[in-house]
Structure 1
Amino acid sequence: MSTAAHVLLALLAGGPLHGYDLKKAHDLRFPKAKPLAFGQVYATLGRLERDGLVEQVGTSREGGPDRTRFALTDAGRQALASWLATVETPAPYVSSELLAKVVVALLVADPEQARAYLTAQRQAHTERLRELTALKADPATPLGDVVAADFALTHLDADLRWMRTTLERVAELHQEIHA
């Protein structure tokens, strides 16, 4: 089951909601995450209902189309509890577009092109660090945004440290690849 499905189960743990309210609740609690599309919410609810993890508990019309409310079933509560109790295994392989671009730059380009790419990428990361740091410093920033900014800052910092180390090794890596 997808992470989005588990998040929807968690949002329903607070009580029955319809798809529109689930999307709003997701976007409020995960403000810096990739937003859920309405289609994804309804498709996921359909799968959760098919699997017996949620059930329809009524329909309302609040000045618009019919809105079906969904509630968590006992099986849904158990699935959510099991997911929360499962420790995530650290990824056995490192995979990111950033890593792929650096390796490809070293494969097809000269060390200066790889160095130029890394330098430009470091600048973009540094600018994003500044934006997130400013967001955190604003007392009006909601706690959910601060937590998401902390998560992003930690990852950006790790990327920057990796890029710094890689920049120091570019010539060596280029020679190794083209040997």
Structure 2
Amino acid sequence: MSVKQGLLALLAEEPMYGARLRSEFEARTGGTWPLNVGQVYTTLARLERDGLVEPVGGSDDEGRIAYRLTAAGQTEIESWWLTPVDRDSTPRDELVIKLALAVTAPEVDVQRVVQTQRTATLKHLRDLTRLKSRASDEPTAHDLAWLLVLENLLFAAEAEVRWLDHVESTLSRMPSATLRGARPGGAATEPDQEDARRAAAASKGGRS
């Protein structure tokens, strides 16, 4: 979630200062994406620069400045609510990158990498399931917000376990030689290169 859009959504309710924006953002998302106050005020400065928010009067007794939406900011957040989240760009996923590199690295035990990750993901899934079991049967609006975030994490963890099962099944069907150093695009492995050098030397010897 964009911090920018998150702050605009909160300010659409009422003016707030930075520390409260931070606490409201974290409370409503279950603390899943923690912010620091510096990040909040940096974002507010950019929003003010872009004409989307403005300060409300001066600072209070503690030196805090509250911000509110401008008309442009109101238009921006109303548009955001009705605009689908862009899924065209593929985010970098460390686990996917790790396994993609592992299957092309000759000294890596890919099965062990997969099993280690599955164990960690299953533990994460159990922890999330325990958290969900504590949810109220009659949630408040804030409880519901936290529950939606939690369920998203649950579904993602379940999908990761299924994907890891698929990866392990795929690896079990691959020839062991393939997993000991095959390279994408047909690049030769070290043994292949050595065989090619020997064949070339034998060919030269036969012509002399």
- Greater strand proportion: 1
The one-letter amino acid paired with 1:122 is: R
Residues 39-64 of structure 1 deviation map (CA, whole Å, 9 limit, x = unaligned): 110010001011110011123434xx
**Aligned mates of 1:173, 1:59 — CA distance in 2:** 70
- Count of aligned pairs between the two proteins: 175
Identity of aligned residues (%): 32
1:49-88 correspondence runs (5 A): 49-62=48-61, 65-88=62-85
Aligned position for 2:196: none
Aligned position for 1:21: 20
Residues 65-97 of structure 1 deviation map (CA, whole Å, 9 limit, x = unaligned): 311110011100111111222112334546310
1:167 CA drift (Å): 0.3
Normalising by structure 1, we get a TM-score of 0.88
Q: 5+ unaligned residues in a row in structure 2: which ranges?
A: 187-208
The one-letter amino acid paired with 1:42 is: Y
Aligned position for 1:45: 44
1:104 CA drift (Å): 1.3
Aligned position for 1:157: 158
Aligned position for 1:169: 170
Normalising by structure 2, we get a TM-score of 0.76
Q: Which moved more, 1:25-34 or 1:43-52?
A: 25-34
Residues 131-179 of structure 1 deviation map (CA, whole Å, 9 limit, x = unaligned): 1111011145833332111000111111111110010111528727616
Rg larger in 1 or in 2?
2
**Aligned mates of 1:93, 1:41 — CA distance in 2:** 26
CA RMSD of aligned residues (A): 2.2
Q: 5+ unaligned residues in a row in structure 1: which ranges?
A: none
**Aligned mates of 1:119, 1:91 — CA distance in 2:** 31
